[in-house]
Amino acid sequence: MPKRSIRDLDLKGKTVFIRVDFNVPLAPGGQEITSDKRIRASLPTIQYALDQGAGLILASHLGRPKGKANPEMSLKPVAARLTQLLGRPVAMAPDCVGPEVEKMRPGAGQILLLENLRFHAEEEKNDPGFSKQLAALCDVYVNDAFGSAHREHASTVGMIPFVREAASGLLMDKELEYLTKATKNPDRPCVAILGGAKVSDKIEVIENLMKVVDELLIGGAMAYTFLKAQGKPVGKSLVEDDKLDLAKELLARSGKTILLPLDHVVVDELKEGAPFEVVANVPEGKMGVDIGPATVQAYCAVIAKAKTIIWNGPMGVFEKPPFDRGTVALAKAVAASGAVSVVGGGDSEKAIKSAGVADKISHISTGGGASMEFLAGIELPGVAALPEK
């Protein structure tokens, strides 16, 4: 069932608490934001609530202050950036709870940004008393922080029983729409592309996607654990030897669903400008750092026929050109396919952006860990706690 959305609520004259994801990267010293994409991602929900005549309380964590105030993890730079983006003042609270904050309750059209939720240890402990204090600040609760939806914290789960009304924000709506469509009722053929370093990081994702997709394209270092499980030479490529039996079992269960690289770009050692060659089998003393051209051709042929594509993880050491060629080629193929494409956050997003095709992807998730858990079929606490329509 779809969740109740902010669009389903009457917000006029209400004080709306929006849990946003302003966990932005800061330069050393904590004064300068180096990327404001997470702030920009929240703007549609913020603007919608303002247009409906609400007063807004925005709340987020930033970094890992471990339950203590830390000026280097203050949200003050976010208030300044938000003021610029919205073209209206954003007041900064001295804390996220307490009498001083309660006195700053915003009226219609006003915005108050609370200080870092994780300055209080009770946030991550999902403490009921702390949840009640946060809930007392507002009339309506909205969760728009998909990136924190896999956390069972006071601001993502604990507040909801103590507020009059709760709903998802527009960004949360979009995340759930695309991820649910891709994993529950995809247009077929449905193809998943999985890369990255470790099979162990993606066991649940592989197992869940095997039930959903028609073909699963494996790349990155995790491919070498599967290849070694098949008895193929992998040289000194990164392998999880303790996961070989699991890899054998997954391959046996998958039938023809899992596709593995046909050739490899290999080096003696991983460094900038290292000489490389393309081989069908990785020789002793060499390590695989990217998929080769035959693999790119085979994978792109599968991608071209797809109607739905799910991607999580690069195909090689893409941050060290020229070992980004496989990842970039697949990103361009996904963009050209015309399929509904859903890309996980983190390295997958960086890879898509480095290929220059981010604007041709249907949906790039804002939540790395949350999207991984969703793809693994794990219920996200922050989503489960929201009421259904």
* Catalytic position from the list 3, 38, 151, 228: 38
**Interatomic CA distance for residues 154 and 7, integer angstroms:** 24
Tokens of 74: 């203050």
- Among the listed residues 125, 132, 198, 232, the single catalytic one is 198
Q: How many CA atoms, within 13 angstroms, populate the side-chain half-sphere of residue 108?
A: 7
Which one from 55, 147, 316, 346 is the annotated catalytic residue?
346
Distance between CA atoms of 218 and 206, rounded to whole angstroms? 10
Q: Clarify whether 30 is annotated catalytic.
A: no
Amino acid identity, position 363: H
Neighbour tally for 30: CB within 10 Å: 17
Q: How does pLDDT run across 109-158, given as a tens digit for each residue?
A: 999 999 999 999 999 999 999 999 999 999 999 999 999 999 999 999 99
Active-site entry in 30, 63, 67, 369? 369
Eight-state DSSP code of residue 242: G
pLDDT of residue 55: 98
- State yes or no: is 3 an active-site residue: no
27-80 confidence digits (pLDDT tens): 888 789 999 999 999 999 999 999 999 999 999 999 999 999 999 999 999 999
Task: Establish whether 107 is a catalytic residue.
Answer: no
Residue ranges covered by each domain of the chain: 6-170, 178-375
- Type of residue found at 356: G
Q: What's the CA dihedral at 290, 293, 295, 298 to 10 degrees? A: 150
Task: Render 223-237 in DSSP notation, one character per residue.
Answer: HHHHHHHTT--BTT-
Which residues are paired to 310 by β-bridges? 192, 342
| Helices within the chain (DSSP H only) | 37-51, 76-86, 99-103, 121-124, 128-135, 170-184, 203-210, 222-229, 244-254, 293-305, 325-337, 347-354, 368-375, 381-384
Has 231 been annotated as catalytic? no
pLDDT tens track, the chain, 389 positions: 789 999 999 999 999 999 999 999 998 887 899 999 999 999 999 999 999 999 999 999 999 999 999 999 999 999 999 999 999 999 999 999 999 999 999 999 999 999 999 999 999 999 999 999 999 999 999 999 999 999 999 999 999 999 999 999 999 999 999 999 999 889 999 999 999 877 777 888 888 999 999 999 999 999 999 999 999 999 999 999 999 999 999 999 887 789 999 999 999 988 877 899 999 999 999 999 999 999 999 999 999 999 999 999 999 998 888 999 999 999 999 999 999 999 986 777 888 888 889 899 999 998 878 888 898 889 999 999 999 99
Query: Structure pTM?
Result: 0.89
* CATH code of the domain occupying 178-375: 3.40.50.1260
* Predicted pLDDT at 51: 98
Topology agreement, domain 6-170 and domain 178-375: yes
pLDDT value for 285? 93
Specify the pLDDT at position 204: 86
pLDDT of residue 349: 82
Query: Domain 6-170 has what CATH class?
Result: alpha beta
